[in-house]
Amino acid sequence: MKRHAPAAERNREPLLAVLRRVLPARGTLLEVASGTGQHAVFFAAALPELVVQPTDPSDEQRASIAARVEEARLPNLRAPLALDARDPEWPLRRADAVLCVNMFHVAPLTAAAGLFAGAARVLPVGGVLATYGPHREGGRHTSQGNEAFDRSLRDQHPDLGLRDVESELVPLAAAAGFALAERVPMPANNLTLVWRPASA
Ligand SMILES: C[S@@+](CC[C@H](N)C(=O)[O-])C[C@H]1O[C@@H](n2cnc3c(N)ncnc32)[C@H](O)[C@@H]1O
């Protein structure tokens, strides 16, 4: 039932440091693509003023999240909801912040477009969308490890692979009204990208 992703253990502390800085002090944090649920539990425990709402489209992942939510017994951690970023309607109509970790490269680019469009629907003026993962930048890989990872993903399916920040994500974000507010280098050649409404 309960799944475990070693990467989520490694990146949770560096991610938390960024989230503490960029998230609102209180309100609802909607997590898209929560996976095993490790991050949702960790961030809910570390940020008790926020209500954390995990989501994932996969039944297996939601079962893992549900098991972790039950075990954690945190008053600010909600049971998982089914959400595919591409859905034209999300199960939550309002959130104060949206977080999405390690989804862009394992889903078709339409999922990234869906994430930006959905975040634009649920966030208030001045809301924040934070994404994390390995990326290409300026059309180039930022490490040999990322390049090999990208190749293995594309071998699995041509629609998968590391997304280029400038040529792929920034235009998709702009189409939904978001601008890249901050690019935070993370361990192991990952990036946290902080997106805010272009007018904010
Ligand atoms: C590599 S896992 C990352 C999980 C978790 N965020 C983490 O960092 O451990 C990718 C997750 O993206 C989810 N996913 C794939 N396509 C998606 C989509 N279109 N919308 C939302 N989530 C999606 C998968 O179900 C999976 O749980």
Instruction: Convert the pLDDT of each residue in 22-32 to its tens digit.
Output: 999 999 999 99
Q: Which two tokens stand for residue 101?
A: 């970790």
In a domain, residue 49? The reply is yes
Instruction: Provide the H-helix boundaries in the chain.
Output: 6-22, 38-46, 59-72, 109-122, 144-156, 170-175
C-alpha 72/C-alpha 163 separation (Å) is: 34
In a domain, residue 57? The reply is yes
Q: At what angle do helices 59-72 and 38-46 cross, to 10 degrees?
A: 30
Range of the domain at 43: 6-197
- The alpha carbon of 166 and the centre of ligand 1 are apart by a number of angstroms equal to 22
Mutate to test the pocket of ligand 1, among 42, 103, 152 (most ligand atoms within 8 A of CB): 103
Provide the terminal-to-terminal Cα distance of the chain, rounded to the nearest Å: 42
3-class state of residue 126 by DSSP = coil
The pLDDT, as a whole number, for residue 200 is 53
- Provide the mean pLDDT of the chain: 97
- The alpha carbon of 102 and the centre of ligand 1 are apart by a number of angstroms equal to 7
C-alpha 172/C-alpha 16 separation (Å) is: 26
Q: Which two tokens stand for residue 52?
A: 């954390």
Tell me the pLDDT tens digit for each residue of 81-102.
999 999 999 999 999 999 999 9
The pLDDT, as a whole number, for residue 199 is 73
In a domain, residue 80? The reply is yes
| Entry pTM | 0.98
In a domain, residue 1? The reply is no
Number of structural domains in the chain: 1
Whether 107 contacts 85, CB under 8 Å: yes
In a domain, residue 141? The reply is yes
In a domain, residue 96? The reply is yes
Q: In this structure, what CATH number is given to the domain that contains residue 86? A: 3.40.50.150
Q: Which range, of 3-7, 12-16, 53-57, averages the lowest pLDDT?
A: 3-7
C-alpha 43/C-alpha 38 separation (Å) is: 9
Mutate to test the pocket of ligand 1, among 30, 38, 56, 101 (most ligand atoms within 8 A of CB): 56
User: What separation in angstroms does the CA of 69 have from each of 5, 77, 117, 122?
Assistant: 16, 7, 28, 23
The pLDDT, as a whole number, for residue 183 is 98
List strands edge to edge, sheet with 97-101. Answer: 50-54, 27-32, 97-101, 128-133, 190-197, 178-186
Residue 161: closest CA among 100, 105, 107, 113 = 105
